[in-house]
Amino acid sequence: MSKICILGSGSMGTALAHLIGGNGYKVVVWGIDKEASEHINVHHENKSEHINVHHENKKFLPGVSLSKNVSANLILPLTLVDASVVMVALPAQVVGQVLPALHNHLVDNAVILSVSKGIDVKSGQTVSQIIKSVLPETRHKNIAALMGPLFASEISTQVPSVGLLTVSDVKVFKFLQKILVNKHFFVRYSDDLIGAELGGALKNIYAILLGVCDGLGYGWNTKSALITAVVKEMAVVGQFLGGKKETFYGLAGMGDLLTTGFGEKSRNRRFGEKLCSGKSVRKAIKEIGHVVEGAATVKAVIKSLGAFKKRAPLLTAVNDMVSKQKNPCAVLQKLFSVI
């Protein structure tokens, strides 16, 4: 039976740990948050004293009693011992700091599966590109990504969900499919690793724009027009950055965009909404209390598009609000004349 290591004790890492643990696999979660780790490990039942404390990640995924196969460890090398799959569920901006520690502790043929959505601001790389820059080329065929419309809270409560599992080797896909899939969770195959990751990163940026629509009180006429323009621009930009255009019309592009742009649980959408109430970028992020990937990613994408001859007015609009603190109402009003 395979052992799975998950790097990241946030909501997504914990939800996937619960999913995989429920499928019968041993899962060990690593993270730097001591409180989250301790809560994941708590598991005590004493009926005579009417105590029933199930282990759960109270900080990031409250109310979900985790599978008995899930544990946590604060020491990275111990977490990696005998792990046939290492799942990366870290914020994109810290992946480059953690990944170098993996190299000497991975077992032969270990699969690296990224579920992180974002682009590193400093390097402009996707998570799989960061992983490839750290690990030797002999391991590259075992690097995969799971993208798509996947809210952690819904995965953990068995809401039927479908993700896009991208990897170059079909054998690796089938191996991961056995670990992930059950009657509530399904995956589809793609070999467009970069495209899928770009879809997962770009949709966070565009979700901010859709949140601004909500914050300004605009209705479905506005949001429908905007999302039509978003899907078109995302496909063009994604193709320019190295993905296949068709990927952005599927689960990892439009599918993920709909979830993140309209879902009440979306941090990026709520961030855009908060910007309309006069709050600064820093204060809006602080109030949300979690990483808002789109706010960081937009800077990296704009930089990567420096030589792009076609305009990307929607991305520019978000960058104007996030990086230049421009008024959301004025930015969106100007946008209506060009989309």
Domain-by-domain residue ranges, the chain?
Answer: 3-191, 200-335
DSSP labels, 161-181: EEEEEE-S-HHHHHHHHHHH-
Q: Kindly indicate whether the domain formed by 200-335 is annotated with CATH number 1.10.1040.10.
A: yes
pLDDT higher than 50, residue 51: no
Q: What is the DSSP string of 183-214?
A: SSEEEEEES-HHHHHHHHHHHHHHHHHHHHHH
Query: Quick check: 12 pLDDT over 70?
Result: yes
Per-residue pLDDT at 308: 66
CB 196 within 8 A of CB 114: no
Backbone angles phi, psi at 45, to 5 degrees: -130, 130
So what's the pLDDT on residue 309?
A: 57
Whether residue 44 is predicted with pLDDT greater than 60 in this model: the reply is no
pLDDT > 70: what percent of the chain?
A: 95
Q: How confident is the model at residue 49 (pLDDT cuts 50, 70, 90)?
A: very low
Mean pLDDT value across residues 30-49: 76
Alpha carbon distance 197, 201 (integer Å): 6
- Considering only CA atoms, which of 209, 215, 201, 235 is closest in space to residue 336? 209
Q: What is the pLDDT of residues 218-247, one digit of tens each?
A: 999 999 999 999 999 999 999 999 999 999
Q: What is the number of H-type helices and E-type strands within the chain?
A: 15, 10
In this predicted structure, what is the pLDDT of residue 250? 98
Paired residues of 71 in beta bridges? 28
Q: What's the Cα-to-Cα distance from 211 to each of 67, 117, 125, 215, 263, rounded to whole Å?
A: 34, 18, 26, 6, 10
Residue 86: its H or E element: strand 83-88
Taking the CA atoms of residue 106, residue 112, residue 117 and residue 123 in that order, the dihedral angle to the nearest 10 degrees is 60
Confidence of residue 310 (pLDDT cuts 50, 70, 90): low
Active-site residue (options: 203, 245, 286, 326): 203
Architecture label for domain 3-191: 3-Layer(aba) Sandwich (3.40)
Calculate mean pLDDT across residues 263-287: 89
pTM: 0.92
Among 150, 273, 147, 146, smallest CA distance to 207 is for 273
The answer to whether residue 334 is catalytic is no
Strands 51-53 and 83-88: unpaired
Q: Which residues of 29-47 are buried (b: 16+ CB within 10 A; e: fewer)?
A: bbbebeebbebbeeeeeee
The upper half-sphere exposure of residue 172, i.e. CA atoms within 13 Å in the direction of its Cβ, equals 23
